Amino acid sequence: MTDKKKLLRSLAGEAMDVPPVWLMRQAGRYLPEYRATRAQAGDFLSLCYNPELAAEVTLQPIRRFGFDASILFADILLIPQALGADLWFVTGEGPRLSTITDASGMAGMKTKDDIHETLNPIYETVKILAEELPKETTLIGFAGAPWTVATYMIAGRGTPDQAPAHALREGDPATFEALIDLITDATIEYLDMQVQAGAEVVKLFDSWAGSLKGEAFDKYALAPTKKIITELKSRHPDLPVIAFPREAGEKYIGFADAVGADCLAIDTSVDVTWAAQNLQVAGCVQGNLDPKLMVTGGEALASEARRIRDALKGGPHVFNLGHGITPDADPENVHILLDAIRS
């Protein structure tokens, strides 16, 4: 396997003393070159839909830091927009969408086959990256998992407890399940096109999976993810998939096997010794440094990075954060992190 890219080796099950490294949101506002390119684009969505500029910001952290993987610059809410939802971003507050609160809201939605006209610029970005990334760097495509995407489509924004989505799930299950099914089918087509364009790995972000409990977790976090991965692997048998059911707690156990994922990303709350004993025995684990340490820096960052690396070096591991890097992170601290892991 030594001729493979380092990330692909970990996803295939190889344990390494020095794991591959990439960071969630590694192309982002903490980098001055990103802020300059976003200003050039005009706004966030214009940046997402400009293939040349989206490719540029994706490449920026690779040039600066030499990460082992690059993740496509896009957003999980492009799928709702492609399906017909109104989407805009409020400065300092985040995304806003038109809402789906009953069956009438579903009537105006497009089908899975109608999304590509909107999303074609994203596929063009992937094609550019496949050509321009260093040969040793793995290209990751991604999408939001259906539950998390649905929470935004129902509430029209991010919410602390996903209460509007839970209310629809319990009060109008037919509409809720129709929405989950639509997002699931559209996500399969979206990720399939990313792979056809050159993505070597895909990741599913279920940022709000932890708010689902018991059978609801199995039905709306696990089952849709399994359907997506099963279909993608039927079309692309060698495609590695990373699943991230954030804050799943005990539900992390067995999740990767249940959905067919090659790697399980874990959040900051997970103890890495527990992860080694309960999760890594089943395959690759990704994570899980606290993003706050990318602000703190210094020896606190370096020692914690080494601790995570050493705790998980007995099995396949992809070093990453437990959530995305924040805008107040110091780019110099990324060098401290990489020196600590790779030394």
Q: Kindly report, residue by residue over 277-330, the tens digit of the pLDDT.
A: 999 999 999 999 999 999 999 999 999 999 999 999 999 999 999 999 999 999
The active-site residue, picked from 9, 25, 169, 246, is 25
Rg (CA), the chain: 19
313: in domain: no
- Would residue 246 be called left, alpha or beta, if left means φ above 0 and alpha means ψ between -120 and 50 degrees? beta
185 in a structural domain: yes
* Structural domain containing residue 122: 21-268
Q: Known catalytic residue: 75? A: yes
Respond yes or no: is residue 25 known to be catalytic: yes
| Closest to 83 (Cα-Cα) out of 187, 161, 6 | 187
**The one catalytic residue among 30, 34, 49, 75:** 75
Q: Is residue 254 part of a domain?
A: yes
Instruction: Examine residue 9 and state whether it is found in any structural domain, yes or no.
Output: no
Catalytic-residue membership of 29:
yes
| Residue 5 covered by a domain | no
pLDDT of residue 2: 54
Q: Is 9 a catalytic residue?
A: no
Which of 109, 236, 122, 245 shows the shortest CA–CA distance to 181?
109
pTM of structure: 0.98
The reply to whether 3 belongs to the active site is no
CATH code assigned at 261: 3.20.20.210
Q: Is the pLDDT of residue 232 over 80?
A: yes
Specify if 79 maps to a domain: yes
Residue 134 in domain: yes
| 251 domain residue, yes or no | yes
What's the mean pLDDT when you consider all of the chain? 97
Number of domains composing the chain: 1
Tens-place pLDDT, residues 186-201 = 999 999 999 999 999 9
In single-letter form, the type of residue at position 328 comes to D
